[in-house]
Amino acid sequence: MTTTVSERAWIGKDLKRREDPALLMGTVTYINDFKIAGMLHAAVLRSPYAHARIRAIDTSAARALPGVQAVLTGKEAAEVIGPVPAFCAEPVVEHAIAVEKVRYAGEAVVAVAAESRALAEDALDLVEIDWEPLPAVTDALSAMQPGAPLVHENLGTNVVYDHVFTFGDVDGDFARADHVIRRRLRWPRATAAPLEPNGAVCAYDPARDTMEIWSNTNMLNSASWVMSSMLKIPPHKLNFYPMYTGGSFGSKHFLAKVIGIAGALSKVTGRPVKFMEDRLDNLMANDSQGPERLYEAELAVTKDGQFLSLRLRTIDDYGAYFIFAITGNTNMMAQITGPYTIRSVETGIKAVLTNKNQQTVFRGAGSDVGNWVLERLVDAAAEQLGIDRVEIRRRNFIQPDQFPYKIPTGNVYDSGNYPGVLDLALGHFDLDAWRQQQAQARQEGRYLGIGLATAQQRSTYSSTEFWFHNPAPATGLNSTPESVRISVGPTGGVTVTMFSPFWGNSPETVVAQVVAEELGIDPRDVNVTYDSTAHALPSAGPGGSRMTVMLAGAVHGAAARLKEKIFKIAAHMLEASVSDLELVGGQVRVKGVPSSSVSLADIGMRAYWFKLDLPPELESGLEGTFTYDHPYTTKPHDDRKDLGVFYPIMGHAAHLVAVEVDIETGAVRFKKYVAVHDVGTVLNPRSLQGQIRGGIAQGIGLALLEEVRYGPDGQNLTSTFVDYLLPSASDVPAIEVYHHETPSPFTAYGVKGGGEGGRMVAPPAVTSAIEDALRPFGISIDEMPITPEKIVRWVKEAQSRHQRQTN
């Protein structure tokens, strides 16, 4: 019973986020606020070496320190917990506390539980370790060389995955092309760096063999069965409580290591144990570093600028472990050809292990990389063919009447209007005026640049993306459900219960607006709660920009079930037939007879406490539950020539950016930033704008500032915020955000997910702007972050090239 746009009372309303008052007043409990009687505090000793064998560990002095309740080496921990759960088929084994050898600087070696965190850290000072340092490999190219030190000896190589996917007639298309655009591109290792690091409180009850877990993991319901093997407790005896998350950016997936460490210490002490990462812990060992990729990228183009085919070869530095396999690479196959009618694609992936903290995924999850690579090629094609950057994009856009559109990999784009989005962006930017200013500035020796990116933002993942790269996958999962329970109480109050936690954006706002829409009530009257896994319905949790789509679908379904019962009771009360009733403003009334009505409170009281006055077939109570499955996903073909539909809810965005570059210092200053996003029907413009702005800030960070750096010996050089540079308020310009709405035909209300788009589109837009500013020097930008030092160096090199040529 999807309502049409004009009828909607609450969906699309610009309401304030209902999460904010509690967050701002400090009344929510974060994991680090959480206390429980008898709770101990854990601290972890981390490896000073990137690669070393542990010969012996002496923990006797640490154990003897008063107030210390447990000290665990990796070997000792392995007696009470199993390895970290991994989704890879390859035999890459990780332990929450390293056993026998360490594979990156910062890997956990010893964990202590003590009466306070400070005391636990005092105990760490007393641990003595006999190390045998081993040579480290810290870049993928060296790690691939024969004779390179092996990160995992049992693999016999550091190249843990190597495969070329071909979709369509790539060779033919390249043969037919008039031009092949080639770029060698480098994407830097970044990390999510949420304000709140990862943490867990585990309380093991030896009498019941149960464990209660309070953690900021985003994946509560999958966590139970995924982590059962590690904790060695059956899943139904684990109860995960949802906690407010102080930022995740898609980085807080299972958090197996923090849960494993707190869990092991709780098992050996029989007391609740908190392990909360500090900033060093998080930046050295959070397991959510992003891709670090080298690309050989080629775009086959006709002489009139039509893109025929895309050929990519990447070497991706996965770090020391492989828990999510090559998800960062499979993810981008959902939108690898972008908004363009590219008809064939080939992508070769070499995943390489090195002595670094492992790559998994966060905001963008590899599709951020794909967008940047493709948009770099598109800009290069425009330059090489002498076609305007706007025009070449227009010539290649999938047109609005071509949807649903199947791309070469097999994924389907549900809907879109790419020319419409671009037009809206251009309407707010005034490209001609900026080009005039740019020309004027160049005469004055100032360098303005205009950047453009038109790119995809896939949403609503299907779990097939975790394994389709592998002919013999470890799992083969293909469900990603999300559920809610809506209950109307005896006095008519409406409560919606979610089974995924608050992960940093606006689930409560979304749910309240949708339930208000469906029940004809005010969203401010809706109570929204979360429930622990012991009481939960199926839920896959946040990730892959899915929650708005999935919660809207779940609420829509649950409301329908709830309304069925509401109408039955109301019909009984009003002595009318269900088909004659309507629900308006919290009242059920007989159509055309407004005076004949009952309120939700009347119905609720009847449902709970007047069984003898209910229709006899109804039981007491008034609630609707619904489990919403992925709206549209299919299995990959066995030969993997078609990966199936796995990310069909496809958003799109166009960013137009003006910057000024100071070529003497290398400083980049934003002059204007326009972002137009199309994520289908907008549920709440304000919360979506927040998502987009936050994502753009993160994308600007990546383009200009952020990089996880390791020294040649494998030391993490960016283990504090002095060295890992996040953009601050003064680095992010005022961003104009506009929405274009092309509803999805597959989701409730036509919504699409918008959580990652800002970060997926800003890096190519900013890169494009800086490259445009430096165009008089003939500089092509093939790497990020674009630091001031690099800009100064490129300009100097270009000037001396120019000088040599003129001499």
Partner 1 sequence: MKSARFRYFAPHTIAEAVQLLDEQGDEARLLAGGQSLLPLLNLRLARPSALIDLNEIQALAFIHPRNGGLVLGALTRDATLERDPLVAARQPLLVEAAHYVGHPAIRHRSTLGGSLAHADPAAELPAVMLALDAAFTLQSSTGSRTIAAAAFFKGPFQTALQHGEILTEVHLPGLPPRSGSAFLEFARREGDYALAGVAAVICLAEDGTIAQARLTLCSVAPTPLQATTAEALLRGRHPDDAAWQAAAEAVVNELKEPPADIHGSADYRRHLAGVLTRRALALAAQRAERSHS
- Where on the chain is the footprint of partner 1 (CB under 8 A)? 116-118, 121-122, 125, 278-280, 664-665, 667, 705, 709, 717-718, 722-723, 725, 727-728, 730-731, 787-789, 792-793
**CA 756, CA 761: separation in Å to the nearest integer?**
9
CB of residue 126 to partner 1, shortest distance in Å: 12
Residue 791, C-beta contacts closer than 8 angstroms, at least 6 positions apart = 661, 663, 666, 668, 770, 774
Q: In the numeric block, which tokens belong to residue 168? A: 């369509």
Smallest gap from residue 302 Cβ to partner 1 (A)? 43
Q: Which of helix, strand or coil describes residue 545?
A: coil
Least separation in angstroms between CB 27 and partner 1:
23
CA 806 centroid distance within chain: 50
Question: CB-wise, 317 or 465, nearer to partner 1?
Answer: 317
How far is C-alpha 790 from the chain's CA centre?
29
Question: Contact at 8 Å (CB) between 603 and 488?
Answer: yes
Nearer to partner 1, 124 or 424 (CB): 124
Helical (H) or strand (E) element with 690: helix 685-704
Closest contact distance (angstroms) between CB of 597 and partner 1 is: 56
* Angle between helical axes of 418-429 and 389-396 (0-180°, round to 10): 160
Our CB check for partner 1 shows the closer of 141 and 717 to be 717
Task: Name the residue type at position 48.
Answer: P
Strand 108-114 and strand 210-215: the pairing is: unpaired
Q: Residue 279 CB, nearest distance to partner 1 (Å)? A: 7
Task: Confirm if 690 and 803 have CB atoms less than 8 A apart.
Answer: no
* β-bridge partners, 353: 319
Shortest CA distance to 753 belongs to which of 797, 700, 688, 803?
688
| C-alpha closest to that of 568 among 579, 558, 559 | 579
Nearer to partner 1, 730 or 807 (CB): 730
Could you tell me the smallest distance in angstroms from the CB atom of residue 48 to partner 1? 14
* Nearest of 350, 366, 353 to residue 315 by alpha carbon: 350
As given in the structure block, the two tokens for residue 236 are: 């139904």
Tokens 């092991």 map to which residue?
264
Interatomic CA distance for residues 569 and 438, integer angstroms: 69
Q: Which amino acid is at 5?
A: V
The residue among 175 and 717 lying less far from partner 1, judged by its C-beta, is 717
Minimum distance from CB of 261 to partner 1 (Å)? 16
From CA 45, how far away is CA 120, in angstroms rounded?
10
**Minimum distance, C-beta of residue 283 to partner 1, in the bound complex (Å):** 12
Question: What is the Cα–Cα distance from 99 to 166, expressed in whole angstroms?
Answer: 40
Looking at the Cβ atoms of 577 and 720, the one nearer to partner 1 is 720
Reduce the DSSP state of residue 65 to 3 states and report it: coil
**Nearest residue (CB) to partner 1, 290 versus 757:** 290
Phi and psi angles of residue 580, each rounded to the nearest 5 degrees, phi first: -90, 0
Least distance from partner 1 to the Cβ atom of residue 117, Å: 5
**Residues 548, 459: Cα–Cα separation, whole Å:** 10
Least gap, CB of 726 to partner 1 (angstroms)? 8
Contact yes or no for 152/353 (Cβ under 8 A) = yes
**CB of residue 122 to partner 1, shortest distance in Å:** 7
CB 106 within 8 A of CB 716: yes
Cα 176 from chain centroid (whole Å): 38
Nearest CB to partner 1, comparing residues 125 and 564: 125
Cβ contact 698:363 at 8 Å: yes
Query: Could you tell me the smallest distance in angstroms from the CB atom of residue 278 to partner 1?
Result: 4
Give min distance, CB of 211 to partner 1, in A.
26
- Closer residue to partner 1 (CB): 359 or 716: 716
Length of the chain as a residue count: 807
